[in-house]
Amino acid sequence: MQWRLPVRSTLTCCRREASDVREWMKVFNAGLSIENPLTILMIGLCATLAVSTQVQGSLFMGVAVIFVLVMSNVLISAFRRFIPHEVRIPVFIVIIASFVTIVDLFLKAFFPPIYAILGIWIPLIVVNCIILGRAEAFAYNNTVWLSIADGLGMGIGYSLVILVLAFLREFLGTGEVVFFEHTVLAMPAGYQPPGILMLFPGAFILFGFMIAGTKWINQRLERKKG
């Protein structure tokens, strides 16, 4: 009997760790598919449609959102027991604004061209519905471990959508993709780009197709699981 207790304890511990990993992956994957902040939840669209005219700007915007999401989720989750419910929103904004300031100063110091492209949209991450929404709906009610998964999943899901949208708009709307003043992809000579893709109507049209594609993929995944 003496040797069975440690074995049972080890098995229980392994099952608990496996369950924690599955839960972490479930939360992470939700941001990529069934709860994607852009194509499913439809939040944070203003900045997305405004910034997604160039791939390079969208890439840095995505990285900035990932950083702010993960760091603010971690801090809010870690101190959620000490944040009074009545003043939680102002506290969330102060925490988010601190990390946004870090991103803003970093881009201004080391990537001036990107800072010039993104402009006012970096400071406006503070009031981005994605950041505030995840702080309120998830980080304030869950552990740090799961809040990291939520921040990464939502941030990467956001980044993938804005990058695909930016690629389609820049490549089809201008005939080339430019990254730090170097053309990395170009249409054949004679291509006449439809300028509407660089305007808001074109962005809405392409985004509508992306929403439809995401819904189709999610439906197929649900049928496979069923």
Task: Using alpha carbons, select from 71, 42, 78, 88 the residue that is nearest to residue 151.
Answer: 71
- Tens digits of residue pLDDT in 89-122: 999 999 999 999 999 999 999 989 888 888 888 8
Q: What is the 3-state secondary structure (H, E, C) of 65-107?
A: HHHHHHHHHHHHHHCHHHCCHHHHHHHHHHHHHHHHHHHHHHH
Averaged over 78-93, what is the pLDDT?
93
Banded model confidence at residue 12, pLDDT cuts 50, 70, 90: low
Residue 31 · residue 157 · CB < 8 Å = yes
- What one-character DSSP code corresponds to residue 138? T
Other beta carbons within 10 angstroms of residue 199's beta carbon come to 14
31 found inside a domain? no
pLDDT, tens only, 34-76: 788 888 888 888 888 889 999 999 999 999 999 999 999 999 9
Residue 29 falls inside a structural domain: no
Determine, yes or no, domain membership for 64: yes
Can you give the pTM of this predicted structure?
0.88
pLDDT digits (tens, 9 = 90+) for 156-182: 999 999 999 999 999 999 999 998 888
Query: Mean of the pLDDT values across residues 136-151?
Result: 94
Question: Residue 16: its pLDDT value, please?
Answer: 63
In a domain, residue 96? The reply is yes
**Assigned domain for 11 exists:** no
Tokens standing for 214? 């995401």
Q: Does residue 10 sit within a domain?
A: no
Q: Classify residue 36: in a domain, yes or no.
A: no
| pLDDT at 1 > cutoff 50 | no
Give a yes or no: residue 108 inside a domain: yes
Range of the domain at 107: 44-225
How many domains would you assign to the chain? 1
pLDDT tens-place string over residues 183-223: 988 998 888 999 899 998 999 999 999 999 888 888 887 88
